Chain A
Amino acid sequence: MKKSITHEFFKGFWEVLPPFRLVLGLCPTLAVTKTVENGIGMGLATTFVLLCSNIIISSIKSIIPKKVRIASYIVIIATFVVIVELVMKAYFFPLSQQLGLFIPLIVVNCIILGRAEAFASKKPVHHSAADGLGIGLGFTLSLMLISAIREVLGYGTILGMQVMWDKFEPFAFMVEAPGAFVCLGLVLGLINLVPKKA
């Protein structure tokens, strides 16, 4: 069934939303969502890599022999990740310090290799671009959601700005690792109460 390009784009925001529908990319979701700023930074970096790798892989899919496809995809993805890392260090140094080693870890973010194998290697370039952009932005929104919950409850701020009342006791559990799991689990459960095809 031929799907339109807008469908390929918007599915990333609901039906195939990572990490809540497409349970991939859990590692950055847990690790860098202490603050909304970090969540946005990681989401956009991942979106850039996903978009570029989807486009390139879709463009050269016909010349990559089946047996070396994973190796080829990884090289291409890793190249874009290093580019993101260098550009971040050059223009967003404090953010790159905060995200630390999770930027290079984008290479093994299952969303990217997953979409390369499941979609970009089979569909035309413009659809792959829409898929990459949509899922990337959906992922960014998911990260923003989890980090908003964690930052507000754990620090009382959003993007560094105080949003809770003065006497607010921060719920420090939320910004620790166990809190991340609990938060992710609850949101995942709530979102999946709503059926995919709304």
Chain B
Amino acid sequence: MKEYIKMILVLTAIAAVCGLLLSAVKKGTEKRIEEQILYNVQGPAVKDLFGYTEKIDEIMPKIIGNRQEITVNEQKQSVFVDKKDDKPKAIAFESNAMGFGDKIEVLVGFDLEKDLLTGIGIITHKETPGLGARVTESVFRDNFKGKTLTEKFKVKQDNGIVDAISGATISSRAVCAAVEKSIALYPAIKENIKKKN
């Protein structure tokens, strides 16, 4: 009996100390990691969606400068804005949906003048390499390029227009769900951005 108690105590103690250490490091690196994702993943995705041709290092200040924080449905939303002649021309914002591994964060781009989807970018995901992770490939993302907002953004098995990745239905469905969420938020965000600018 004493043996079992010692085992339980030692394991609990080790797990507790490790847990504490891990949450401290996580907290300590959170801000920095967010920044890194902004510069290394979101930045290039926004550049892609807005069709900027300059080098990423040169265009980054502009992308960040045009980023606006707005509140929609009592939720804070970060929106990247592309301006032409100082008027908002296109926007991009993130939404997410539960994939196979964890949440998939999808950046969705909209053309404000034509009310079209300009495309999507996958920001973070924890999908299976070689299967679900293939949602990042342009072949899959092209499913959303230049589409009108009234299309059915579901995988073909669910009577939609999106060609899912074979063997990765869950991940494909998750990206569709995230896109649908952004489309639902689009009218309110568009109004908000137009008002502010």
Contacts and interface: CB of A to CB of B under 8 A. Distances in A.
Interface residues of B, number: 20
Interface in B42-66: none
B6 A65 contact: yes
Interface in B28-43: 29, 32-33, 36-37, 39-40
Interface residues of A, number: 24
Q: Is the interface of A mostly helix, strand, loop or mixed?
A: helix
A67 B5 CA distance: 12
Nearest to A60: B14
Contacts of A72: 10-11, 14
Contacts of A60: 14
Contacts of A101: 129
Interface string A84-104: 001101110110010011000
Contact of B7 (A68, A87, A94): A68
B40 A94 contact: yes
Residue picked from A71, A76, A90, A100, most chain B C-beta under 10 Å? A90
Given A65-B3, A68-B11, A87 B18 contact: no
Nearest to A82: B22
B87 to A, nearest CB: 34
Contacts of A87: 25, 29
B14 A86 contact: no
B129 A86 contact: no
Nearest to B18: A79
B147 to A, nearest CB: 29
Contacts of A82: 22, 25
A186 interface: no
A63 interface: yes
Nearest to B6: A65
